[in-house]
Amino acid sequence: MGLHNPLPSSMSSECKKCGKILASFINPRQAFGPDKVIPPSVLANAKGLAIITVLKAGFLGSGRFGSGLVVAKLPDGSWSAPSAIATAGAGFGGQIGFELTDFVFILNDTSAVKTFAQAGSLTLGGNVSLAAGPVGRNAEAAGAASLKGVAGIFSYSKTKGLFAGVSLEGSAIIERRDANEKLYGTRFTAQQLLTGAVSPPPQAGPLMDILNSRVFSGGRSSAGDDMYNDIPTYDDRRESQSHDQRFGGPNRSSTWQDDVYDRPAGGFDSPSRSNTHDSGRAGPGRPAAPKPNFTSNKTANLNKNEAIAMFNFDADQPGDLAFKKGEVITVLKKTDSDNDWWTGMIGTRHGIFPSNYVKMKE
């Protein structure tokens, strides 16, 4: 289990983190086998999900805090835009140590979704019933349904640390409207987002790719591992993700150094680190550089798969291909859009770069 950031981060970082966490709970290749996954029947019938990373630390008393996202399934079967949430709680006793836990909460009914969407905060185990969910790819749907009648929320968790069996019962879940505002440009409430007031932005791609995968569509468990083939895979050792294998570039990852509101606000006008996917939503926001004026003949001597840099591009995160204006980039993978992230190479260096910083041979 990799370490995920429990601190409140930008929505873009939260989407990457939560996509990675969710994949580790539903894909047998990432969840230590088919007996350790959330059953497909539970995923297909979910009315919503909440995904949170929580840090619990204690000496004389104990405290816990964390951050994550909540999404809801809309009446047409699509998924809402994510809303940022945080959690906090306290305990008593002589426990010493720390514990980092990833939680996935399956919201089984509309009442559970409405509880998460209400203004202010909610208390898990207080406002809504909570129970440990069934596990295993072949878990009987009937058994899951009987549990669903008892609990509005199924809880799943993975822990790394020195405590044992952390529970979020009694913890307050709070909506982070400031984080929503930084992404959407408007101070949307959780209720507005979870009822479809706005479409999922490109920055939510790492999470939406998983929610739109076959395992959430009610596929038969007898279909074998094929039903998981469209779930992005992650490598904790390199902290990189391949959330869009069709594009193949080195995409962004959720790390301890991810932005905690110390980078420019994302919004819809800054570069998205997720790639265009097939859901029909808009592609990533335009890179911030002004549109270049292609009046010179600098590209005349380029090969077909080469591009010339029209602007300087600095590598501010691992996986970026930095270059100076005038450098020639060998383009390895590209799209038809000048509003996307392409994969390229300069000498022995390779990585991704914004497509409207360069000019291809005409």
Q: What percent of the chain has pLDDT over 70?
A: 61
- Mean predicted confidence (pLDDT) in 266-275: 40
Give residue 352's Cα distance to chain centre: 19
Q: What percent of the chain has pLDDT over 90?
A: 23
Tokens of 47: 């009315």
- CA 344 to each of CA 66, 86, 266, 269: distance values in angstroms, whole numbers, following the listed order: 37, 38, 24, 23
Give residue 64's Cα distance to chain centre: 22
pLDDT class of 350 with cuts at 50, 70, 90: confident
Q: Quick one: fold of 306-360?
A: SH3 type barrels. (2.30.30)
pLDDT at 141 over 90: no
Full-model pTM: 0.60
At 10-63, the pLDDT tens digits run: 899 999 999 999 988 887 776 555 667 888 889 999 999 999 998 887 666 667
According to the 3-state scheme, what is the secondary structure of the chain?
CCCCCCCCCCHHHHHHHHHHHHHHHHCCCCCCCHHHCCCHHHHHHCCEEEEEEEEEEECCCEEEEEEEEEEEECCCCCECCCEEEEEEEEECCCCCEEEEEEEEEEECCHHHHHHHHCCCEEEECCCECEEECCCCCCCCHHHHHHHHCCCCEEEEEEEEECCCCCCCCCCEEEECHHHHHHHHCCCCCHHHHHCCCCCCCHHHHHHHHHHCCHHHCCCCHHHHHHHHCCCCCEECCCCEECCCCCCCCCCCCCCCCCCCCCCCCCCCCCCCCCCCCCCCCCCCCCCCCCCCCCCCCCCCCCCCCEEEECCCECCCCCCECCECCCCEEEEEECCCCCCCEEEEEECCEEEEEEHHHEEECC
Mean pLDDT of the chain: 73
Q: What is the pLDDT of residue 124?
A: 64
User: What are the residue ranges of CATH 2.30.30.40 in the chain?
Assistant: 306-360
Lowest mean pLDDT of 60-74, 136-150, 168-182, 309-323, name the range.
136-150
Cα separation, 119 vs 360, in Å, equals 50
Q: What is the pLDDT of residue 158?
A: 86
At 144-193, the pLDDT tens digits run: 444 545 568 888 888 876 554 455 666 778 889 999 999 999 889 999 99
Q: What is the pLDDT of residue 278?
A: 43
pLDDT class of 248 with cuts at 50, 70, 90: very low
Bigger pLDDT: 295 vs 128: 128
Cα separation, 108 vs 48, in Å, equals 7
Tokens of 167: 């529970």
Q: What is the pLDDT of residue 226?
A: 56
Q: Do 69 and 51 meet the contact criterion of CB atoms below 8 Å apart?
A: yes
Q: What is the pLDDT of residue 74?
A: 94
Bigger pLDDT: 89 vs 17: 17
Q: What is the pLDDT of residue 338?
A: 76
pLDDT at 298 over 90: no
Q: What is the pLDDT of residue 302?
A: 74
Cα separation, 98 vs 356, in Å, equals 46
At 188-247, the pLDDT tens digits run: 999 999 999 899 999 999 999 999 988 887 654 444 555 555 566 554 433 333 333 333
Cα separation, 357 vs 204, in Å, equals 24
Bigger pLDDT: 331 vs 61: 331
Q: Which residue has the tokens 């010339």?
A: 308
Bigger pLDDT: 248 vs 280: 280
Q: What is the pLDDT of residue 259?
A: 45
Cα separation, 43 vs 48, in Å, equals 9
